Amino acid sequence: MSHGISHNGEHETSPSTFDNTGKLAAILIGVISAVAGLLMYWFNPLLNNAASLQGTYIDDLFGVAMGIGTAVFFMVQGLLLYSIIRFHRQADDDEDGPPIRGNTKLEIVWTVVPALVIIFLGILSYQVLVAAERPDPDELIVEVRGFQYAWQFYYPDYDITTSEMHLPVDRPARLKLRSNDVIHAFWVPAFRIKKDVMPDRVTETFITPIEEGTYPIVCAELCGAAHSAMRSQVVVESDSSFKQWVSGQGAAVARASEAAETDPMAQGRQVFNQNGCNACHVLADAGAVGQVGPTLNNIGAEAGAMVPGQAPEDYIHAAIVDPNKFVVEGYPANVMPSNYGTTISEADLKALVDYLMAQK
């Protein structure tokens, strides 16, 4: 049983609470925390180099936050560990500790100092935000379309549409994002840039790539069954390679429309790729390597045998507009979007069915 200390015990200075050992430990913990924080700020080891100008701003800010966070972490854990080791109750000691109920000065300090640190971090964050979203008159505009489960990029300056994004290095780009169906989020981890892609409005984000290379584009907002397969990539290249790529794409478009006269399959192939079928299915003719749904390389030959009594054209048509009607064994239902009947025009749908029928 503990024995009460009289009420004036409050004023007693207690040797065991903040003696020289305690002071020394507190100072040591403070120094270690500061050093750890500075090291973390300096090396910023958790992030690889950013590939965009905005990313470098964000990384610098992250480094500052990481430095402060590391210092706070070491300080709290240090004080905690020191207390656990030092103030362990002795086995035969049933006395209470010193009745200290507070210390106004200390309490003001640990309210005001964190508030100042927070204000500092807030101001810094605001500056970075303004810098990261500054428009530029020389912007390259890219219109990004997200749909279940693929990305599409339209370059209004060149009138080309692609399923892979290309950006010239060091030239600011403004992305205008829009979704065909649910909310997606356009994220390029290497750029540190993420923006939700909404069905009912256009959102914008700014990227100035500074490092040539190929980086993944990831959908970061849950968008349905094949959310994790909704990926693409962005190629950052020199201005000349970019121009070459653009003219190549332009030529491909021209070829396709020319070919449409002679090659009845061109339209179907285009419908296949522009509606994201390529994101989930394998189809050699269209260069599609998606891993979510069944392989379609021989669909024209196989369709007739899928459902007894069903004409192959009807089977393919149904499988597109009502994908849950005949789910291929080994693949889950409710993965493929069920609204292609409304999003693809009647003519395009016919071209797509004809195209798939020809895959034998």
Partner 1 sequence: MEATIEANAYDNRGWIRHGGRKLSDYFVFNTDHKVIGIQYMVVAFIFFIIGGLLAETMRTELAAPGTQFVGGSSYNQLFTLHGTIMIFLWIIPAFVGLANYAVPLMLGANDMAFPKLNAFSFWLTIPGAILLIASFFVGGAESGWTAYPPLSLQTPAGQTLWAIALQFIGFASIFSAINFLVTIFNMRAPGMTLMRMPLLAWSMIATSIIIILGTPVLSAALAMLTVERLLGANFFSGGVGGDPLMWQNLFWFYSHPAVYIMILPGFGIISEVIPVFSRKPIFGYKLIAFSSLAIAIFGFLVWAHHMFTSGMDPFLRVPFMITSMIIAVPTGVKIFSWLATIWGGKLRFTTPMMFALAFISMFVIGGISGVFLASVPIDIHVQDTYFVVAHLHYVLFGGSVMAIYAGVYFWYPKITGRMYSERMGKLHFWMNFIGFNITFLPQHVLGLQGMPRRVADYAPEFMLWNLVSTLGSFLLAASTLPFLWTAVASLFKGKPAGNNPWRSLTLDWTVTSPPPIHNYPVPPVVTSDPYGYGERTIVQPPVPVPAPSGGGGD
Q: Identify residues 126-145 at the interface with partner 1 (CB under 8 A).
A: 126, 128-129, 132-133
Judged by CB under 8 A, does residue 72 bind partner 1? yes
Tokens read off for 259: 């070919």
Our CB check for partner 1 shows the closer of 25 and 246 to be: 25
Q: Quick one: which of 34, 169, 210, 229 contacts partner 1 (CB under 8 A)?
A: 229
Judged by CB under 8 A, does residue 195 bind partner 1? yes
Q: Quick one: which of 56, 161, 203, 297 contacts partner 1 (CB under 8 A)?
A: 203
How long a stretch of residues is the chain? 360
Q: Quick one: which of 1, 137, 138, 240 contacts partner 1 (CB under 8 A)?
A: 1
Q: Quick one: which of 198, 235, 259, 318 contacts partner 1 (CB under 8 A)?
A: 198
3-class secondary-structure state, position 357: helix
Judged by CB under 8 A, does residue 221 bind partner 1? yes
Residue recorded with tokens 């913990």: 29
CB of 107 to partner 1, least distance (A): 5
> Whole-angstrom Cα distance, residue 192 to residue 195?
10
AA identity, residue 33: S
> Whole-angstrom Cα distance, residue 330 to residue 246?
40
CB of 159 to partner 1, least distance (A): 26
Q: Quick one: which of 167, 185, 319, 320 contacts partner 1 (CB under 8 A)?
A: 185
Judged by CB under 8 A, does residue 18 bind partner 1? yes
CB of 45 to partner 1, least distance (A): 10
Judged by CB under 8 A, does residue 207 bind partner 1? no
Instruction: Let me know: does 172 contact 140? Beta carbons within 8 Å.
Output: yes
Instruction: Let me know: does 186 contact 173? Beta carbons within 8 Å.
Output: no
- For 218, phi then psi, to 5°, come to -125, 140
Q: Enumerate residues 289-308 that contact partner 1 by CB under 8 A.
A: 292
204 strand-pairing partners = 176
Judged by CB under 8 A, does residue 211 bind partner 1? no
Q: Quick one: which of 219, 299, 352, 356 contacts partner 1 (CB under 8 A)?
A: 219
**Helices 346-357 & 265-274 angle (0-180, nearest 10):** 110
> Whole-angstrom Cα distance, residue 203 to residue 187?
13
Our CB check for partner 1 shows the closer of 57 and 151 to be: 57
> Whole-angstrom Cα distance, residue 41 to residue 326?
56
Judged by CB under 8 A, does residue 16 bind partner 1? yes
Apex 124 CA angle, 119 and 128, nearest 5: 145
Eight-class DSSP state of 155: E
Eight-class DSSP state of 358: T
Our CB check for partner 1 shows the closer of 89 and 157 to be: 89
Our CB check for partner 1 shows the closer of 203 and 295 to be: 203
Our CB check for partner 1 shows the closer of 32 and 198 to be: 198
